[in-house]
Structure 1
């Protein structure tokens, strides 16, 4: 259900969650965090939704992170602590989510917005987009977003971003591996829907099992990961969709998925 600060739409089998605070550069409040979490949960088991897009309203910002004005309005220690825990909890939930989550970035992705973007499974960005972790410039350190960013950016390069607070452009973000593709503003929506069409054409069950195992393996030793992934391969090949996919390949026809 849409709210003033989070627009919720379903188009062509994709759930769109649009942070709707353009006058505040789509900065994140506790209400926005809760709404994103709730809407993801509401559609988690809906098979007609096969992918998710998170984006910001307008063309100035994906999100510039936590709304600092709310931190200056007399929030209690507990309220601030809960907000930080909610951001980390959302990251973990996104990694366990059974559908692919795509960040569509047009404009600034900074601080917590940079972390939210990195917690998504894929990122498309316009060429005018800017990225960074500028918390040090206001006397804070980007503690919570370190985790999703370290999954994709080499530690030395990430530390430089955090200690300098400098912003980088889309091409540099692509070089660092934190985004997947840079697209011109004119071609952005067309490219986004092309990517979504590809994602939505895959088996929902194999997508869910594959995504889950991908993130779990990242947190294991090589020995643990190999053992775990071997077991997952045995499990996946017993699913109906795996059997259908292999048979379709042999018979040279398109597979018909039933998400089982």
Structure 2
């Protein structure tokens, strides 16, 4: 099974995160495929729009720790370069590539959009979600910083709301995500395909050159902010090798509260 699928209907491509067994967790292979699709799309003048969705009743459960597992709680030797930095930065490259697409980008969300999946949603020009969709950035509850997605959440939601979700790991329903400004439209669980078709029809009235020029202008606003990809990757790698991540991820895997979530003694 291919973890990332692309289908085309005229001038519109549908990109599908296609690993239902992991709830479309962002594995190294999936991240690479998404990045390569962005690079190709950037130079395809016949492509007018992209719809990004997830298969199997989930958008994305977020980052996959498969490539990081052996490093959890394991400090580096003095002077050793950390390979985790490049691995984590690669997801930041995907977020930047999505944000730089000259085409309009619709995220069609059905089910959970967690962590890195939340970050993908923040890159969209339009977000349509089903009523059963849920959104969260739970990294801090696991002992990790939501490093690569933090700038994109901040840009999408503003400082106050970004702090609320990034620093608490709060779980939002689709309606709450819409109220926060993450989601544009919430539809019934069986109405997502029709809603996406309606959005595509509306976008067909837009001139592709004008869309690309407008997105370039909007992107200029982002270029005034510092590029945090390397700093974010360094912070993530250091946290993953530290004691909090080891304790948090162990507790999560055993379905127990993390040490810091337990009540303080009276």
Name the structure 2 match of 1:247: none
Deviations 1:154-196 (A, max 9, x none): 3222222222212111111111111111111121100101101
RCO higher in 1 or 2 (8 Å CA, sep ≥ 6)?
2
SS of the residue 2:202 aligns to: helix
1:199 corresponds to which of 185, 195, 203: 203
Q: How does 1:55-66 map to 2 (within 5 A)?
A: 55-59=53-57, 61-66=58-63
Structure 2 residue 102 is matched with structure 1 residue 98: yes
Shift of 1:11: 1.8
Q: Which residue of 2 aligns with 1:180?
A: 184
Give the gaps of 5 or more residues in structure 1.
222-260
Conserved 8 A contact 1:95-1:212: no
CA distance in 2, matches of 1:207, 1:118: 18
Q: Structure 2: 5+ residue runs without aligned partners?
A: 226-266
Query: What is the correspondence of 1:60-209 to structure 2 with a 5 Å cutoff?
Result: 61-73=58-70, 78-209=82-213
Please, which moves more after superposition, 203-212 or 69-78? 69-78
Contact residue 13 and residue 200 of structure 1 kept, 8 A: no
- C-alpha distance in 1 between matches for 2:224 and 2:29: 34
Deviations 1:194-238 (A, max 9, x none): 1012213321111100111012135559xxxxxxxxxxxxxxxxx
SS at match of 1:16: strand
The alignment partner of 2:56 has SS state of coil
Q: CA RMSD in A?
A: 2.0
- Summarize the Cα distance change of 1:72–1:214 in structure 2 as closer, same or farther, 3 Å threshold: same
The 1-side partners of 2:26 and 2:147 are apart by 16
Partners of 2:18 and 2:224 lie apart in 1 by 37
The number of equivalent residue pairs is 218
What is the aligned partner in structure 1 of residue 245 from structure 2?
A: none
With 172-181 and 40-49 compared, the bigger mean Cα shift is at 40-49
